[in-house]
Amino acid sequence: MGPVKGPDKNHQLTLKELPYIIRWRDDRCTRCGRCTAVCPLKAIAPEVRVERVVSSEGMVPAPKVTRRVVSVVSQVNDIDRYCTGCAMCQLVCPNAAIEPEFNPEHKFLHVKNKGGDAYKRGGRRNDPNPSTLDMLKFTRISMLTDPALDAGRHEFHLRTYLGRILPPKDLPLKAGGDGRLVVDKGADVFVPPVRQIYPIMIGSMSVGALSPPMWEGLAMGVAYLNEQLGMPVVMASGEGGMPPRLLKSRFLKYFILQIASGYFGWDEIIRSLPHMVEDPAAIEIKYGQGAKPGDGGLLMSYKVLNLIASIRGVPMFVDLASPPTHQTKYSIEEAVAKMIISMSMAWGFRVPVYPKISGTKTAKAVLNNLARNPYAAALSIDGEDGGTGAAYNVSMDKMGHPIAMNIRECYLDLVRQGKQNELPLIGSGGVGKKGNLAANAAALIMLGASAVSVGKYLMQSTAGCLGDEHNRCNLCNTGRCPRGITTQDPKLYRRLDSAKVAERLVDVFKAADTELKKIFAPLGRSTELPIGMSDGLSVGNKEIADALGISYAC
């Protein structure tokens, strides 16, 4: 006996299972078709229906039933074509006839594994709650006993160092007569390269993950910030190299080249080496990423078009998965040290080389190893709230370590060793998650970071990335980014104006610069970054306060 025949459509989803439900208004819709055309997953479709109309004419009720054929816009209930809530339909609708509405009772993750394919996406951890960074407050306000500084009048030195800094006793200095010190050129001391940079860095987002206009826009903005505004903002390339023209240009000095486990793009970088007219700002060796700890990079085939294939030296339309770890690396003591040395040697020890790891309980072990390696230029730690262009949802939502505590523990560990100014810590992962870029950056610095790195926030603020922590959009991995930010499809990325991205990037950094001053001035700091100035921080949660070694205030 077979199964009892159930109602029609029993194995289909109801719209209530889906994370966003489309609200469409028949009375406003002109059937122009823009919404259905723009929808990245075709979650809405025009549909023809027969409508039953009951009408009555005359003084006495005389109902008359007629049927007519109407066209409507309806939401499909196919899990592959779910509404992502991106709201592009609302954006293009000339008559405010359509919008997606978040459905808090959805069962999206129960069903988004069709064919045994675990859900992959881009974006950031889907947790709309405030991060620890957002809970921190700046409470040690300089008042009458120690006058606050004036953010508008005093000079501020909002700069930091990227590179291994020699302890003062190791500096190759000698008396030069006349009460002056001079550098002792004959001293057998390696003085590591150190860059003075702006303390907010642009995190690794690759050419490939980003569309040409997006990457170009950021790069143009960085050049403007450096050359017109004198703000030494640096930008990391992500894995996948850089356009050869840029590698050979004078602008290379504003970029950090990343090498990751797939080594994508490094053929071109090595070939360009003899032609480089400037050194890069630094080399970042990616061992991990906060959004997807233990996972390698992933550029899905739909995004591997001609430009990307040529820069990376691979065929078009193949998935580019970097291994979870560097295959040739078997121990931090030897292999990582060798990689740092190799990279340093490639540029004649003129370029800082540092590893980037994902936030983890084991960060201190890495730190201590690097602290003993005089060639390690920094340690970049990427917390669980970091973003990515493509990863498994489970990695993004459930794996990783919050950045605040990782940075704090590592900094205090360096303090115990007296090396707090020798190995700069770079903190990232969720900086600006709730829009508080400067406040989050300042908090991380006061917990002990020398610099912070930011990516997702910049996509949201410079190019209108639609993604959020309610899993809105987050289609970065599919190449169907409706804003044209994370796609290689010209039909999509031509929507994005690189000049506008550059302009917005400059806006963002200028505003953040003002906000940082507005934070540091009342704390009485302007001459130097308040690295580790934890007495300026409080939090309204005793357990967090104790864990971070800061004060509790409520």
Partner 1 sequence: MCRLAAITAAEYFSPMENIHALETMKEGHDGSGMGLMLKNLGGFAESLKDFPVLSGICSSDGLKALDEYMKVNGFREVHMWAPRIKPVAGIDKRDCYFAKFYDYPPAYRESPWAEKEALLTGTRLALREMGEADESIVVFSFYPDVLTLKEVGDPLALGEFFGLEDGRLKAKIILAQGRQNTNYAINLYACHPFFIQGFGTMTNGENTAFVPIRQYLMSRGVQGYTGYQSDSEVFTHILHYTVRELGFPITYYKDIITPLKQLEIETRPDRDALRLIRQSLRMLVIDGPNCIIGFTPEGDCFMVQDAKKLRPGAVGGVKGKYAFMSEECGLDRAVPGRDRSLDIFPMKYDFVTVPMGALEVKVWDQLKGRTKTIS
Residues that bind partner 1 (CB under 8 A): 142, 145-147, 149, 154-155, 157, 159, 161, 165-169, 171, 173, 175-176, 179-183, 191, 194, 196, 415-418, 420-421, 523-528, 530-535
Per DSSP (E only), the strands in 6-139 are 20-24, 44-55, 64-75, 98-102, 120-123, 136-138
Nearer to partner 1, 228 or 306 (CB): 228
Least distance to partner 1, CB of residue 382, Å: 24
Nearer to partner 1, 80 or 528 (CB): 528
Nearer to partner 1, 69 or 144 (CB): 144
Least distance to partner 1, CB of residue 539, Å: 16
Contact yes or no for 389/205 (Cβ under 8 A): yes
Give the SS3 label for residue 115: helix
Nearer to partner 1, 135 or 194 (CB): 194
Least distance to partner 1, CB of residue 531, Å: 6
Nearer to partner 1, 77 or 368 (CB): 368
Residue ranges of alpha helices (H) inside 152-255 are 212-227, 244-247
Least distance to partner 1, CB of residue 550, Å: 10
Contact yes or no for 126/470 (Cβ under 8 A): yes
Nearer to partner 1, 379 or 537 (CB): 537
Nearer to partner 1, 4 or 144 (CB): 144
Cβ neighbours for 169, distance < 8 A, ≥ 6 positions apart? none
Least distance to partner 1, CB of residue 445, Å: 11
Nearer to partner 1, 403 or 531 (CB): 531
Q: Beta strands 235-236 and 255-259: pairing type? A: parallel
Cβ neighbours for 126, distance < 8 A, ≥ 6 positions apart? 393, 396, 397, 469, 470, 471
Angstrom distance (rounded) from CA 491 to CA 86: 18
Sign of the four-CA dihedral 520, 523, 524, 529: negative
Least distance to partner 1, CB of residue 417, Å: 7
DSSP class of residue 524 equals T
- Tokens 């003084």 locate to 59
Instruction: Report which of 14, 23, 15, 26 is spatially closest to residue 72, judged by C-alpha positions.
Output: 26
Least distance to partner 1, CB of residue 371, Å: 13
Angstrom distance (rounded) from CA 1 to CA 443: 67
Contact yes or no for 241/213 (Cβ under 8 A): no
Residue 169 corresponds to which tokens in the numbers above? 């006793």
Residue 380 corresponds to which tokens in the numbers above? 């970049």
Angstrom distance (rounded) from CA 492 to CA 305: 14
Angstrom distance (rounded) from CA 469 to CA 386: 12
Nearer to partner 1, 51 or 528 (CB): 528
Least distance to partner 1, CB of residue 464, Å: 36
Least distance to partner 1, CB of residue 342, Å: 25
- Tokens 């050129």 locate to 185
Contact yes or no for 163/134 (Cβ under 8 A): no
Nearer to partner 1, 434 or 518 (CB): 518
Cβ neighbour number for residue 363 with a 10 Å cutoff: 24
DSSP 309-342: HHHHT--TT--EE--SS-TT---IIIIIHHHHHH
Least distance to partner 1, CB of residue 139, Å: 13
Q: How far is CA 415 from CA 100, 187, 368, 392, in A?
A: 51, 28, 12, 37
Nearer to partner 1, 95 or 196 (CB): 196
Least distance to partner 1, CB of residue 447, Å: 11
Least distance to partner 1, CB of residue 131, Å: 24
Residue 458 corresponds to which tokens in the numbers above? 């910049």
Give the SS3 label for residue 258: strand
Nearer to partner 1, 166 or 332 (CB): 166
Least distance to partner 1, CB of residue 151, Å: 13
Angstrom distance (rounded) from CA 280 to CA 211: 22
Nearer to partner 1, 185 or 245 (CB): 185
- Phi first, then psi, for residue 461 (nearest 5°) are -90, -25
